[in-house]
Amino acid sequence: MASNAVVCVGYFVLVLLSVSSEGSRHDGELSHGDILQRQEADRVVELPGQPAVDFKQYAGYVTVNESHGRALFYWFFEATSKPEKKPLSFGSMEAESRRLREEERKCWERKKQISGRVLWFLEEERTPCLSFFRSPGCSSVGIGEAEEVGPFFPQKDEQTLKLNPHRWNKAANLLFIESPVGVGFSYTNTSSDLYQLGDEITANDSYTFLVNWFKRFPQFKSHDFYIAGESYAGHYVPQLAEVIFDNNKHVPEFNYINLKGCMVGNALMDDETDQTGMVDYAWDHAVISDRVYNNIKIKCNFSRPNPTQDCKKALNAYFDVYYIIDMYNLYIPTCVSNSSISSNRQHPVIQGVAPQIFSKFDGWQKRLAGYDPCAPNYTKVYLNRPDVQKALHANVTNISYPWTQCSEIVPVWWDSPASLLPTLKKLIAGGIRIWVLSGDTDGRIPVTSTRLTLNKLGLKINKEWTPWYTHHKQVGGWTIEYEGLMFVSIRGAGHQVPSFKPRQALQIVRHFLANKKLSSTPF
């Protein structure tokens, strides 16, 4: 299948901050020497305990605000095959860079001839690029890379990495970004920045990161670009896509980002339907009693941001259940490790994030999210090792706190829209490909919530509830093909679809990138 994109999976590489940032050049371009130097400085030759691989990886920092000293950390993996037409090397880079710039100039001239539309024409196949995002305060490196779709999974011995057989860089060049600052290795030299965070600054900083990252890696600039993520990425992904979409209409050629599509899984998209669906799903799956369910229905109005005292009492009974089972997958065990490391990833208590009612409850904020339920332990130990950080060019400023999957220093979230449906409608109208995934054993953003949300979106249905098949003639889930949007459910998957159904997740992302429907007949 033809594939010519870059997939952006959530959080993002920069050389040491002692070198000047990309933003310091007013002409928007770096010299060939700077490009080569910066790429080589970010090159990750080998990680401690890493198996041998035949693809390149890069990691480091990109400055997004020079005056405040804000920098986002990234980890980038080239695709396992044909990441670009020519391999990146010192000998070929300069000629390749010249060829790409000339190609882009011709494309830009052709684009300007098309009235009212912005198109990006490619003469040859190029592997897409994908970026992946996670929840507010949580790391796409620690969760997305190390437990879901990345090449390397830290192991129980806390010394070695396992090569993920279903890694997504088999389908695309894969970029992880730790965003916003205060998450993972990303940082700011201006402490007040941590009290100004929200959806808008996250989207704008991520956009600035991408513009500067593509200046450092111009050989990927003409590739198709996709954004993917899960959970709160139902906010992050469409908001970043909207910033790219709007800026693409007026930016100079060298800042144009070839955005093609977005994919979100078990995604927070609309407060009212997300919260209603959580309660309905819990009752349908025998998690809460009739009494608790009916009490919530009588006393809570999820179309309002602030719960009454009676509603709070009713919801406390609902959340009590998720102290003894995992909200993120109703049917997996919890971690009973004797490790001295805090045994479970805890979502931070951040005031102000959506959904406006549920986010006020400890039960929403601080539930387990393990899939190997002890995997967060292994990742936390591994990424806090000095030799690992040195290999990744991470923690170059000696951050005063340890790396964690979910930040403990982001105290408040200033803006979090109750619904992202208007943004989704705008992107669909603009021709951006949208796929929405839903693992059907997740209680956090369950399939019930997603179906209610998509119904509220009011799109025309082109093809109703249809099974799709995975290997050995097994039903992988169901799809609904809307006008401009594809919904995909995944049987037996929890909140993090790739952790529970990795083969199916790779199958889905390959079809998404190729704009190809999943098979509706057994194979």
What is the pairing mode between strands 474-482 and 152-154?
A: unpaired
Q: Kindly state the tokens that stand for 74.
A: 């990234």
Name the β-bridge partners of 261.
226, 433
Task: List the catalytic residue out of 186, 231, 407, 416.
Answer: 231
Task: List the catalytic residue out of 223, 347, 495, 511.
Answer: 495
CA nearest neighbour of 8 among 316, 180, 196, 233: 233
Torsion of CA 398, 403, 408, 411, to 10 degrees: 50
Q: Burial-class residue 162 by CB neighbours within 10 Å (0-12, 13-18, 19+).
A: middle
Cβ atoms within 10 A of the Cβ of 362, count? 11
224 is catalytic: no
Task: List the catalytic residue out of 135, 274, 442, 489.
Answer: 442
Q: Distance between CA atoms of 504 and 518, rounded to whole angstroms?
A: 10
179 is catalytic: no
416 is catalytic: no
Q: Distance between CA atoms of 262 and 219, rounded to whole angstroms?
A: 22
What is the pairing mode between strands 57-65 and 485-490?
A: unpaired
Q: Burial-class residue 512 by CB neighbours within 10 Å (0-12, 13-18, 19+).
A: buried
Q: Distance between CA atoms of 274 and 446, rounded to whole angstroms?
A: 8
- Say if CB 430 and CB 492 are below 8 A apart: no
Q: Distance between CA atoms of 53 and 47, rounded to whole angstroms?
A: 11
Q: Distance between CA atoms of 509 and 171, rounded to whole angstroms?
A: 7
Q: Distance between CA atoms of 161 and 12, rounded to whole angstroms?
A: 21
Instruction: Write out the catalytic residue numbers.
Output: 231, 442, 495
